Amino acid sequence: EVQLLESGGGLVQPGGSLRLSCAASGFTSASYAMGWVRQAPGKGLEWVSTINKSGGETYYVDSVKGRFAISRDNSKNTLYLQMDSLRAEDTAVYYCAKDCDEGVLTTEFDSWGQGTLVTVSS
Amino acid sequence: QSALTQPPSASGSPGQSVTISCTGTSSDVGGYKFVSWYQQRPGRAPKLMIFEVSKRPSGVPDRFSGSKSGNTASLTVSGLQAEDEADYYCSSYAGNSNLLFGGGTRLTVL
């Protein structure tokens, strides 16, 4: 059974940093692209970032470019999101998600974690 | 890039069919096959219901179907059941490995 378990969320002041982690199990994570999707309180889903299976290609929504960095450690089956220069508008539940297709980056996610809440406030 | 356009709400009685639309542009919905639909119940993570416009993952009832015409994708739920009440989001590949979501549609089973 595929499982994705996020951690690292919490309360941070504007301008601060957080690193989210997503531990993957139940599948060969090194064979799949992975991504982060966020949902502000009471709002819809917003794609944040995607990384290909090797970690050599990364993609970001414009609003986080230069502030967030996605990475992965396939030896640890773990996905990361380093978030710097955080703003109030980054407040959201952050979900990690697994791409549908082995080996291909489709941006369609067939498994999701339970999410971790990031609150940016003074 | 702007979010895809979905109606904020939809409703139907048990047993009826409901269709939710998702309108984009030729640079996203109209240009690629990677159009998906997600179901999200309150307090839960999204669940993939449809991928590649019309394919169902294993375990998703065949009451759920997807289609696309031009720049508009659609999700149809046939034989509505109380358990189908949820928020539904469409998404589409938008080039350069970017992804767009729709604003979401709250489906109410009357």
Q: Is residue A6 very low, low, confident or very high in pLDDT (cuts 50, 70, 90)?
A: very high
Torsional sign, CA A40, B35, A113, A83:
negative
DSSP H stretches of helix in chain A? none
A26-29, long-range: CB within 8 Å, 24+ apart, which pairs? A26/A1, A26/A2, A27/A2, A27/A98, A27/A111, A29/A72, A29/A74, A29/A77, A29/A79, A29/A98
Rounded to whole angstroms, the Cα distance separating A107 from B85 reads 25
Give the best residue of B99, B100, B101, B106 to mutate against chain A (max A CB count within 10 A). B99
Q: Is residue A61 very low, low, confident or very high in pLDDT (cuts 50, 70, 90)?
A: very high
Distance from CA of A113 to the nearest CA of B (A): 7
Answer whether residue B50 shows pLDDT above 90. Answer: yes
Judging by beta carbons within 10 Å of its beta carbon (0-12, 13-18, 19+), is residue A58 exposed, middle or buried? Answer: middle
Across the interface, which of B46, B96, B98 has its CB nearest the CB of A45? Answer: B46
Answer whether residue A80 shows pLDDT above 90. Answer: yes
Average pLDDT rounded to a whole number, residues A68-90: 97
Answer whether residue B6 shows pLDDT above 80. Answer: yes
Q: Express as a percent the part of chain A with pLDDT over 70.
A: 100
The pLDDT of residue A35 is 97
The pLDDT of residue A83 is 98
Positions of E strands within A1-122? 3-7, 10-12, 18-25, 34-39, 45-51, 58-60, 68-73, 78-83, 92-99, 109-112, 116-120
- pLDDT (tens digit per residue) in B15-45: 999 999 999 999 999 999 999 999 999 999 9
Are A34 and A101 contacting, i.e. CB atoms less than 8 angstroms apart? no
The pLDDT of residue B1 is 67
The pLDDT of residue A98 is 96
Average pLDDT, chain B: 96
Answer whether residue A36 shows pLDDT above 90. Answer: yes
The pLDDT of residue A105 is 85
Q: Is residue A106 very low, low, confident or very high in pLDDT (cuts 50, 70, 90)?
A: confident
Are A2 and A95 contacting, i.e. CB atoms less than 8 angstroms apart? no
- Cβ contact A106–B93 (<8 Å): yes
Residue closest to B32 by CA, chosen among B104, B98, B107, B102: B98
Residue A74: alpha-carbon gap to chain centroid? 15
Rounded to whole angstroms, the Cα distance separating A94 from A112 reads 10
